[in-house]
């Protein structure tokens, strides 16, 4: 995901348009900070120690990827939802860009 973030930030057409956040399902703030420092994660990570966010998204197994499109004047729309890690940052990014209509 670090690589995906770097690709987004390096592309003037995407930077500022596509944001990446991570949610630590069941992880405390200490654990999230430890993970952030240990893996040098450059994008925002949030702790979800009581699984509140995890429950809202349907108690998915992890890792899980959700693409959300913010629409002017309408509710945010989920355009991408996938269980399991994408090992290819370029492939994940391509799906995000196509699904969201950014590119």
Partner 1 sequence: MKRIAAVLGVAVCLLAGGAPSAAQTLKDSLYNPGELKPIDSTLKVRKGQAAPDFALPSVSGEKVRLSQFRGKKNVVLSFVPAAFTPVCSDQWPGYNMARALFEQHDAILLGITVDNIPSLFAWTQQMGSPLWFPVLSDFWPHGAVASKYGLLRSDGVSERALVFIDKKGIIRDILVTDINKRPDLEQCAIALEKLDKK
Residue with Cβ nearer partner 1 (9 or 23): 23
Give the largest CA-CA distance in the chain: 40
Chosen residue from 38, 40, 73, 75 binding partner 1 by CB under 8 A: 38
Q: Is 42 in the site for partner 1 (CB under 8 A)?
A: no
Report which of 2, 9, 18 is spatially closest to residue 95, judged by C-alpha positions: 18
Q: Is 28 in the site for partner 1 (CB under 8 A)?
A: yes
Q: Is 11 in the site for partner 1 (CB under 8 A)?
A: no
DSSP state of 57: T
Sign of the C-alpha dihedral, residues 31, 33, 39, 44?
Answer: positive
Cβ atoms of residues 89 and 7 within 8 Å = yes
Chosen residue from 7, 9, 31, 89 binding partner 1 by CB under 8 A: 31
Q: For residue 3, give every residue at least 6 positions away whose Cβ sits within 8 Å of its Cβ, in sequence order, or none.
A: 89
Q: Is 90 in the site for partner 1 (CB under 8 A)?
A: no
Distance CA(23)–CA(67), nearest Å, equals 13
Residue with Cβ nearer partner 1 (21 or 75): 21
Q: Is 20 in the site for partner 1 (CB under 8 A)?
A: yes
Binding site for partner 1 (CB under 8 A): 1, 4, 16-28, 30-32, 34-35, 38, 45, 49, 53-54, 57, 60-70, 72, 76, 79-80, 83-85, 87, 96-97, 100-102
């Amino acid at each position: 995901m670090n690589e995906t973030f770097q690709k987004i930030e390096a592309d003037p057409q995407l930077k500022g348009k596509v944001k990446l956040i991570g949610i630590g399902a069941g992880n405390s703030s200490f654990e999230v900070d430890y993970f952030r420092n240990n893996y040098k994660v450059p994008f925002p990570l949030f702790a979800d120690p009581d699984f509140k966010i995890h429950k809202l998204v349907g108690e998915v197994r992890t890792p899980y990827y959700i693409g959300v499109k913010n629409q002017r004047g309408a509710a945010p729309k989920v355009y991408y939802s996938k269980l399991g890690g994408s090992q290819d940052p370029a492939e994940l990014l391509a799906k995000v860009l196509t699904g969201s209509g950014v590119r």
